[in-house]
Amino acid sequence: MNLFIIFLLLDYWSLNAISATNTEVAIIRRDLNFTGMVNYDGFLSETHTVRTKDGYILTLYRVSSPNCSALRDSEPIMFMHGLFLSGDDCITPGPSGSHCYEYASACLDVWVPNARGTVYSRSHISLNPDTDSEYWNFSFDEMAQYDMPAVIDYVINATNKNQITYIGHAQAVATLLNLCAAKPEYNAKIKVGFGLSPTAWLYNCRFSVIQIDGALSTVLTGLIEAGLNAEFLPRGGVYQPFVKLLCGTTDLSYPACSDLLFAVLGNDSYQITEDTMKVLTGHLPGGTSLKNFNRWGQIYKNGFTKYDHGSVKNLLEYGTLTPPVFDLSNVTMKWIFITSYGDYVSNVTDVDTLIANVSNATKCIVSDKTFGHLDYLFGKDVPTMITPMITTYVDTGKFECL
């Protein structure tokens, strides 16, 4: 009997030791930046800088695996983050469950841009983001006009390839749509675009923050048009220590944080594991502008339209009191939109509206009906449900919805 108790105690201590080790790793990774995490996780990275035509300086990362003696002769992969996020998204869950590590382990050439105003792209040739409010006078419209063509052309030139494979989460879908609509020559530079939780029309969005944003958009637009340009939800803001304390320190906090994410964003409860949640507290949010935040409130309210300046300026700018809907007839590149019934941000009905407005798109509704907005990035089933669809397409040119 005493021997049995000793075995039980040893088993208990062993499990606790493993748990402690996992927690320690999560805390270390929580406090590392992109290149620090890549190095810690046993992968390789390069840091590139790209200057846009309007003077913003963007950071672009390249990720590879040390186990690949050479890269495959295929189009480079570009993984683009969404609103409030950063390039960290594609490596946060760790070596065995992250988008960029999965692609790098398959010996694909992986590139990770960071949009203007995020923690890694907070520079300009003349404007200081800490003192010049004009720096923050942008939305995803400028990302489409300047950021996206700059990084696409940079990767194509650096790799000597004619096309890229694009993987975009949420806002990153709208950005590329706008670019290809305004500059149709960029359609030919994208072999295929994978839209994870694509956002364009948001009429059926259930995300409370966007709903509130929509209700306040008229007031916010007036203030922004009057010159109120500011940073919004920066990395390391006053709320970050609270988030780390609430979601990143004790095992008891995990259910509360997971349920909170489920309530506001729609996520499969516990798709985002406890260890990933701890890491996330150091990598969310990524930062953006107040104008860009308000832009999504406008879209929730108006539809997928051009920027709403207010009726008087709209009349001068567009000849109408309200902004026109984006004309997507020039978007001819192939899109595969991956969506879910459990996503509170990107609703399947709104994705259908998007598909009706582009000429070459396929929809995949994931089999997990509770899969949520952030699960596409951080969910434990990403390496079995999401990335295989993409790597199989890269390998075969054929798509199968899982």
Q: What is the model's pLDDT at position 260?
A: 58
DSSP H helical ranges for 226-359: 240-247, 253-265, 274-280, 290-302, 311-318, 348-356
Amino acid identity at 26? A
3-class DSSP state for residue 302?
helix
Amino acid type, 56: Y
Angle made by CA atoms 58, 64, 67, in degrees to the nearest 5: 170
The closest of 261, 283, 152 to 208, measured between CA atoms, is 261
**Class of 2-396 in CATH:** alpha beta
Q: Which amino acid is at 91?
A: I
Report the DSSP beta bridge partners of residue 371: none
| Neighbour-count burial of 312, counting CB atoms closer than 10 A to its CB (0-12 exposed, 13-18 middle, 19+ buried) | exposed
Along the 402 residues of the chain, how does pLDDT read in single tens digits?
A: 444 333 333 343 344 444 447 889 999 999 999 999 999 999 999 999 999 999 999 999 999 999 999 999 999 999 999 999 999 999 999 999 999 999 999 999 999 999 999 999 999 999 999 999 999 999 999 999 999 999 999 999 999 999 999 999 999 999 999 999 999 999 999 999 999 999 999 999 999 999 999 999 999 999 999 999 999 999 887 666 766 666 755 555 666 666 655 554 545 557 999 899 899 989 989 999 999 999 999 999 999 999 999 999 999 999 999 999 999 999 999 999 999 999 999 999 999 999 999 999 999 999 999 999 999 999 999 999 999 999 999 999 999 999
How far is it, in rounded angstroms, from Cα 391 to Cα 393? Answer: 5
In the DSSP assignment, the letter for residue 345 is: S
